[in-house]
Amino acid sequence: MAQDSHCTAERELLEAVRRITTFSTTSPSDEAQNQPEAEISCQVRKENSEKDDLQDSSASLSPNSSMTTKELQEYWRNEKRQCRQVELLFEIPSTRIVEHHLSKYVTYKIIILQTGSFDSNKSVIERRYSDFDKLHRNLLEEFSEEMEDVTFPKKTLTGNFTEETINERKLAFKDYLRLLYSMTYIRRSKKFIDFLTRPELQEAYGCLRGGQYTKALEILLEVIGLQERLTRGNPVSIVPTLCAIVVCHKDLENPASAFEYGEKALSRLHVHTSHRYYIPLLETMIALAYELGKDFLSLQENLEEWKAKKDPIRVFTLKELAVREYVQ
């Protein structure tokens, strides 16, 4: 009876994801709905890529799939989230003047919120004028047409630290970020995402390399939420950060937490087994499962299956991969 109930549950879940897939391939794009400031992840793909995606989805979600019920549930939850309208708001409530040796500059506190959510999750970062200026120049190189009518506060030789100038720039940068985010290609670009996340990730990985795992973990947990909101259409892109969190938890002797984030990373790689993090993550998860007394047979089978298909090559450990990220 329990087995029949389990099979019925899986069939119901499979039917649910079929409906989600159908909805995502027929929903209009955000351009078609003329909603430039809203992120609608369920967009109509080009015909050829749509066929490929549906074939991949069908293959990975067939009744013979090796995914467990828990993995399927996590996958479908992610699919549903991607079908929701997402919009980020940028607020710059305050600034501060920093004097460091012979330099003096203003930093702008940026709070990034997700609309349509009642939770208290928010991301807080600080950037200075030179950071905004670098972003603007980089975007002009890649998106000259889109940036044609985007205004940017000019740099002045004097008066940069007056209250009037700082307040004007605070409002200008808020509008600037809002406008950039309203343009689909820009908000999905690596340069825009790097502007919002890279400094914190560089600091976190520097701490990780220095063995400061508690500090590294604190920063990584702050930035992962923002990364997830910025890269909803590309969930694989946050796998390195998830794996770095696994490494920190593991070295801090928190195997249960390490395993939890490892499962999140694996759920994003189930159809990307050629990803450089896949095998090191599998090996780490097997060790963690053994330590925690969990069933690791399916993980071991996936590892052996991959090794049987691939030529023997040197594979880094998860920690070795992590410490190589963001090396200058």
* CATH assignment of the domain containing 223: 1.25.40
- 59 within some domain: no
- Does residue 124 lie within any of the structural domains? yes
Distance, in Å, from the CA atom of 256 to the CA atom of 297, rounded to the nearest integer, reads 18
Taking CA atoms, 80 is separated from 17, 76, 113, 305, in Å, by 9, 6, 20, 30
Query: Of 147, 172, 188, which residue constitutes the final position of a domain?
Result: 188
> Residues 248, 221: contact at Cβ < 8 Å?
no
The pLDDT tens digits of the residues spanning 106-124 come to 999 999 998 765 556 789 9
- Residue 60 and residue 230: Cα distance in Å, rounded? 25
Task: Determine the average pLDDT of the residues in 84-106.
Answer: 86
Query: How deeply is 173 buried, as exposed, middle or buried, from its count of CB atoms within 10 A (0-12, 13-18, 19+)?
Result: buried
| Residue 275 belongs to a domain | yes
Query: What are 235-291's pLDDT values in tens digits?
Result: 999 999 999 999 999 999 999 999 999 999 999 998 898 999 999 999 999 999 999
| pTM (two decimals) | 0.73
The amino acid present at 126, given as its one-letter code, is E
pLDDT for 47-65, tens place per residue? 444 444 434 344 344 434 4
Tens of pLDDT along 165-221?
A: 999 999 999 999 999 999 999 999 999 999 999 999 999 999 999 999 999 999 999
**Cα 10 → chain centroid:** 28
Residue 8's identity, in one-letter code, is T
In a domain, 36, yes or no: no
250 lies in the same domain as 287: yes
C-alpha to C-alpha distances, 122 to 88, 149, 176, 257, nearest whole angstrom? 10, 30, 19, 22
Nearest alpha-carbon partner for 246 in 236, 234, 258: 258
Q: Which residue has the tokens 């994003």?
A: 268
Beta strands (DSSP E) in the chain are 39-40, 85-86, 88-100, 103-114, 123-128
**Rg (the chain; Cα; Å):** 22
Are 270 and 176 in the same domain?
no
Of the candidates 188, 204, 222, which is a domain's last residue? 188
Same domain assignment for residues 228 and 317: yes
Domain extent for 223: 213-324
C-beta neighbour count of 95 within 10 angstroms: 18
Whether 180 and 224 map to the same domain: the answer is no
Task: Flag whether 28 is in a domain.
Answer: no
Task: Report how many domains make up the chain.
Answer: 2
CB-based contact 109:96 (threshold 8 Å): yes
**Same domain, yes or no: 162 and 217:** no
Single-letter amino acid, residue 72:
L
Dist. CA 314–CA 252, nearest whole Å: 27
CA distance 288 to 296: 9
